[in-house]
Amino acid sequence: GFGDAPRPERRVRLGVMGGTFDPIHHGHLVAASEVASLFSLDEVVFVPTGEPWQKTERAVTAAEDRYLMTVIATASNPRFSVSRVDIDRGGPTYTVDTLRDLRLERGPEVDFFFITGADALGQIFSWRDADELVELAHFVGCTRPGHTLTDPGLPMGKASLVEIPALAISSTACRERVRRGEPVWYLVPDGIVQYINKRSLYQPERSAEELPT
Ligand code: ATP
Ligand code: MG
């Protein structure tokens, strides 16, 4: 059998892309694809956030809808996958919990690359357990139109800053366009346009929380 065969030396390289994905758009997909190429990642797992405990300034779309949209948008890429760890844990998502759960799931033979936008990277030291975070993953900060990419002062070798081809797309802008009756074709994958219509997401007359779950 393979028992005595030399084991492959190369460790699995796993990108982890966290986000609300409300909805997922081409900015997310291009960022994941670009980091996967630059860092020779074997896989990028998209991790939609859980539902917040308390209402924030807006009602976030139901986790199952955000999860399904993320599955639809990533299904055609054999190196993209979706994890339910943050959704199944419930409550507000902390990156340290995401990485701990994925480590338990994937085992010790995997190197994690946490992919995050310039806007989120700026808050890295306000995150809980910042010291543990840098032990759990390498951090990749991506440029994003409208956000300056500055070195947050992470320890050397624990973070990289990369230039992503600029796509000035945000989920907020997509939601507002749908609300105003403007098209989101080509800002989000075709299947996401269809899913938004099917579930009547982001409509002014029917808020997401009134929809059946
Ligand atoms: P919202 O407008 O609701 O905040 P968003 O477009 O920022 O949504 P998130 O789900 O918050 O999307 O983003 C997940 C991650 O993707 C974040 O790290 C964010 O910085 C990054 N990101 C979002 N849009 C882009 C983009 N156009 N280019 C590069 N990175 C992006
Ligand atoms: Mg955002």
Query: In the Cβ-directed half-sphere of 116, how many Cα atoms lie within 13 Å?
Result: 19
For the whole model, what pTM was predicted?
Answer: 0.90
**Ligand 1: which of 25, 74, 144 to mutate, judged by most atoms within 8 Å of the beta carbon?**
144
Q: Which of 60-69, 143-152, 186-195 has the lowest mean pLDDT?
A: 143-152
pLDDT grade for 56, boundaries at 50, 70 and 90: low
CATH superfamily of 12-168: HUPs (3.40.50.620)
CB-defined site of ligand 1, < 6 Å: 19-22, 27-28, 31, 116-117, 119-120, 142, 144, 164, 167, 169-172
Nearest CA to ligand 1 atom 6: 170
The minimum-distance atom of ligand 1 relative to the CA of 117 is 20
- The answer to whether residues 195 and 72 touch, using CB atoms and an 8 Å cutoff, is yes
pLDDT in tens, 167-203: 899 999 999 999 999 999 999 999 999 999 999 999 9
Domain limits of the chain?
A: 12-168
pLDDT in tens, 96-142: 999 999 999 999 999 999 999 887 876 765 666 778 888 999 999 99
Mean pLDDT of the chain: 89
80 beta partners = 44
- CA 181 and chain centroid, separation: 26
Closest alpha carbon to 160 in 119, 118, 193: 118
Ligand index nearest the alpha carbon of residue 24: 1
ipTM: 0.98
- The answer to whether residues 162 and 140 touch, using CB atoms and an 8 Å cutoff, is yes
